[in-house]
Amino acid sequence: MKKILRSGYTTGACAAAGVKAALILLTTGEAVDAVGITALDGTPLKIPVAHVEKLSDGLRAEVVKFSGDDPDITNGASVFTTVRKIFGDEIIFRAGVGVGHITKPGLQLPVGEPAINPAPRQLIRNVAAEFNIGGLEVEISIPAGVELAKRTLNPILGVEGGLSIIGTTGVLLPMSEEAFKNSLVPQIDVAKAAGFDELVFVPGKIGETIAKQLNFPDGAIIQTSNFIGFMLEAAAERGIAKVILCGHIGKLAKVAAGVFHTHNRVADGRLETLAAYSAAAGLPACEVQKILDANTAEDAAQIIAANHLERVYKTIAARASLRAERYVFGKLKVKTILVDYAGKILGTDVAIGVLEMRSISFRRGD
């Protein structure tokens, strides 16, 4: 019998659950042992609460991270959320022990901010709004995070002092590679059954949000995660005529370099790709070196913009399309849309005039 993999919940969902438990204790005096929250994608989550207590200056809850069948290094770690009332209506986020701070540009948050990503912040705001009690200071701590962070890319990316509080929706889906790959393919079968022979492949939430903003049909938008090559092969086998790759420059620059499993532990040449194509477009050597020394693709994009070399993205998009078509031996046509975190289309070889270099404003749910 095929094993059904269990989903879990993110560190951001743990923190949000801790906030809810603390606010229930504050408003009702009841110390609950579980709370219900709604993930940003609408999924209901019931999360156990290990402990909740009143402090001299606030309240604190402990939630133990559960990753389901995802091989997540934070599984079993305690996430402590301390909540304090403050004047006004704002929610201020603080990093406690084991939660890092942003030290380099190019990430989703400015330098100096606690490494509590936008989606967990929104999840916490949603929970706080249920109580309508005004301003809060929310401090998140993961004591084990000091050591766990050493096993991540955080120090390289510029998150120092601990882990990031992450998550796109709050739901943690199992990422066993073979099982996850096999779970992605039925999307293509469903889309084909619905009459679609042109699909939009998105590696994650950024690409999905952009694709929807561009009014691509929901039924044609296919999540690939890091397995772009595998999904291209699956589409070709099923007679799909055309695929549009739509995603962040940091992912799809790898495809332009011939990398079709885009997890950074498997292959990572995004900065080298951006540097090479920028050099070919005339970027001076000293600026090329800055791209190679950059922290992230977003950081590199700032260097490209400063040198007014945005035309390079169209070349990279066309190259990604070419490499993808070669990967499936020309069995389907491929076009590419490259975007950044802010929702701006950096470059595309899609032959739609209104699409090219269009800016799209949206609030990311990650």
pLDDT at 363: 29
Angle at 262 between CA 256 and CA 263, to 5 degrees: 155
pLDDT at 306: 96
Confidence of residue 73 (pLDDT cuts 50, 70, 90): confident
Angle at 166 between CA 340 and CA 103, to 5 degrees: 70
pLDDT tens for 147-179 read 999 888 788 778 899 999 977 787 776 655 665
Confidence of residue 365 (pLDDT cuts 50, 70, 90): very low
Identify the CATH assignment for 8-172 out of 3.30.1300.10, 3.40.605.10, 3.30.2110.10, 3.40.50.2000. Answer: 3.30.2110.10
- Domain boundaries, given as residue ranges, for the chain: 8-172, 177-348
pLDDT tens for 278-311 read 999 999 999 999 999 998 999 999 999 999 999 9
Report how far residue 366's alpha carbon sits from residue 118's, in angstroms, rounded to the nearest whole number: 6
Report how far residue 35's alpha carbon sits from residue 190's, in angstroms, rounded to the nearest whole number: 35
pLDDT at 275: 97
Confidence of residue 1 (pLDDT cuts 50, 70, 90): very low
pLDDT tens for 204-232 read 888 988 999 999 998 899 999 899 999 99
Report how far residue 76's alpha carbon sits from residue 262's, in angstroms, rounded to the nearest whole number: 28
Among 164-168, 254-258, 295-299, 352-356, which is the least confidently predicted range?
352-356
pTM exceeding the 0.85 threshold for the entire prediction: no
